[in-house]
Structure 1
Amino acid sequence: MDAPRFRTLGGLAVREGGAEHAPRGPKLGVLLALLVLRPGRTVGMDALVDELWGEHPPRGAVGTVRTHVYHLRRALREDLGEGADRFLVTRPPGYAADIGPEEVDATRFARAADRARLLLAEGRADRAHAEAGAGLDLWQGRPLADVRTGRALSGMVQRLDEVRLQLLTVRIEARMLQGRYTELLPELRDLVAAHPLNEPFHAFLIEALYRSGRRGDALGAFRRLSSVLEEELGLEPSERVRRLRHTILTEAAPTPLSRAETVGIVGSAGAVGALGTVGAV
């Protein structure tokens, strides 16, 4: 599949002929980001003004938006050629990026998460692992890292960050079901360090240690989770993780891991991601 034409994961850029072109100026970056993250959808003038200036727009803001759109069209034409005119269209009461979802990396990213989650729910761990990996390959860093985000774009960035965690969770769960416990340990340690309050990552680490024959280390990981939850949130581990600890203490040896058990780590069957909320992207 060809690379998406619009990159938003890691920074904002337009791709053409093997080259990447960044927006010319902060306001043009905001406009382009807001439009391409809603491919094919009209973004009203009020939403554009709000994203550009928040609660304190200047006098004549609507006219200024139109000027910015003119400059954005000219910049796109320079980067993409005359065919660029089709990408940014006037569509009352605002403007739209007349592009397909597959032309935007963030949309491909969210759709890969949906597919990976469904494949895992169907018990197709190998396919789910591959799909999650393909989605994560699109990630090049924090979304819109070089754009000054307002309310709407900040919300989209947050949702994309959540999708990344969901994709990581699906990929880890698939590998657990494949029995690749020892192989997962370095990644899980890194994820726990980076996300100390993410209980599913801790739980996967505990489970992987136990199933790698490291019962003592698994119990130590449980104690560290208990400590960080108590210190930071005043909470104790969830009932599911406490049951995991009980299993480690009472089972003579690990039994084969089932899909039901991995679902128990992250919650209900849908807990690996309410990905429908990303539909706004």
Structure 2
Amino acid sequence: MTAPVTLRPTPATEPIPARWVALRLLGPLEISVDSVEVPLPQRKLRQLLATLLIRPNATASTEVLIRELWGDRPPATALAALRVYVSQLRKFFVQHGLGGRWCTLRTRAPGYQLQVNDGILDMVCFDRLCVLAGESAESGRYELASRQYREALALRRGPTLEDLRDSPALAGAALQYDEAWMTALTRRIDLDLLLGGHAELVGELRRLLAEDPLNEAFCARLVVALYRNGRSGDALVFYRRIRDQLIEELGIEPGLELRLAHQAVLTDDADFNLEARIPA
């Protein structure tokens, strides 16, 4: 199992305070100072912070923030309440030593702007690592790319914002990053297949399919991993079972990727590579 990754701030010219700060959205919202979670129990404050963090350093209008916090029918006191929450969030930053270098909540027409040292925000770190991994894969540095994807994947602690998905913007960001995590996982598996890790991948893919049985991307890669592990019979049995499930439960035939993997086993195509589709 990959060890958890510690978020570290981006380098700066001024001296770094003797503390590490992390703002985490890839899972439940979490604020951590020196590896200790700092609670922000009020739900509206958590919603406000998360809504600002999904657009770091951008200005969110009061109209948008009110809609995110109260929906389409906000109370008449919503604007005044929002100002109170902003004030409380600023005090929270100061109380826990997060203000200034780490987080600054500014009033910016037509609303508010949360300036964040983005090296402490897990979503930004995830995006950067995935870009680096894609560049490494594109240049043929497959082992490095696999490590970079593993580091990115380790940032996830569960479904993105799983405790705060009841507003449109937060739900949209959560779905976006859950999909991005799945894409990164698939690319990392492709790289490990390319590097000859098929034996280790059989168990991992079976575990993933136990959680998501009809995920055709994982099914195709398990067929390939079994075949390369000298288990062509198991690969064909697995394909038939998955095809039957897809037809029975969804009324569809397997997709192209899964069919190509099946064909490679039937024709004993040792040169077949799903992972040749790794995008940059």
TM-score class, shorter-chain normalisation, is 0.7 to 0.9
CA RMSD of aligned residues (A): 2.1
1:205 equivalent among 222, 229, 243: 222
SS at match of 1:80: coil
Are 1:255 and 2:270 an aligned pair? yes
Asked whether the 8 Å contact 1:11–1:142 carries over to 2, the reply is: yes
The superposition leaves residues 7-61 of structure 1 with CA deviations (integer Å, 9 ceiling, x where unpaired) of: 1222222222332212230000000011122111111111101111111111131
Matched, 1:49 2:66: yes
Give me the identity figure in percent. 35
* Contact 2:66 2:82 survives alignment (8 Å): yes
Equivalent in the alignment of 1:22: 39
Secondary structure (helix, strand or coil) at the match of 1:40 reads coil
Corresponding position of 2:16: none
Counterpart check, 1:89 vs 2:111: no
Give yes or no for the alignment of 1:79 onto 2:79. Answer: no
* Residues 16 and 9 (structure 1), Cα distance of their counterparts in 2 relative to 1, 3 Å cut: same
Residue type of the alignment partner of 2:267: T
Whole-Å separation in 1 of the counterparts to 2:246 and 2:144: 34
User: In structure 1, what is the Cα distance between the partners aligned to 2:50 and 2:167?
Assistant: 11
- Which structure has the highest helix share of the two? 1
Letter in 1 for 2:38: H
Runs of 4+ in 1 over 6 A off after TM superposition: none
Match of residue 164, structure 2, among 147, 152, 155: 147
Matched, 1:193 2:206: no
Q: 1:171 to 1:217 in 2, by over 3 A?
A: same
The equivalent of 1:66 in structure 2 is 83
Pair 71,246 (structure 1): closer, same or farther in 2 beyond 3 Å: same
SS in 1 for 2:67: helix
Distance 2:120 2:166 in 1: 21
Deviation string 1:211-252 (CA, Å, 9 cap, x unpaired) is 10001110012112212221232111123422322221222x
- Is 1:135 aligned to residue 135 of structure 2? no
Unaligned runs of 5+ in 2: 1-6, 9-19
Aligned residues, how many? 263
Alignment of 1:236 onto 2:253: yes
Distance 1:200 1:121, change over 3 A: farther
Alignment match, 2:197: 180
Contact 1:37 1:107 in 2 (8 A): no
- The 1-side partners of 2:103 and 2:23 are apart by 14
Of stretches 150-159 and 216-225 in structure 1, the one that deviates more from structure 2 is 216-225
Report the AA paired with residue 59 of structure 2: T
Q: 1:239 to 1:144 in 2, by over 3 A?
A: closer
* SS of corresponding position for 2:270: coil
Measured in 2, the distance between the counterparts of 1:172 and 1:85 equals: 35
Paired AA for residue 15 in structure 1:
S
Give the Å deviation of 1:4. 5.4
**Normalising by structure 2, what TM-score?**
0.86
Name the SS for the 1:89 alignment partner: strand
- Does structure 1 conserve the Cα–Cα contact (< 8 Å) formed by 2:220 and 2:257? no
Code of the residue aligned with 1:250 in structure 2: it is: T
The answer to whether the aligner puts 1:119 opposite 2:136 as a matched pair is yes
SS at match of 1:87: strand
TM-score when scaled to structure 1? 0.86
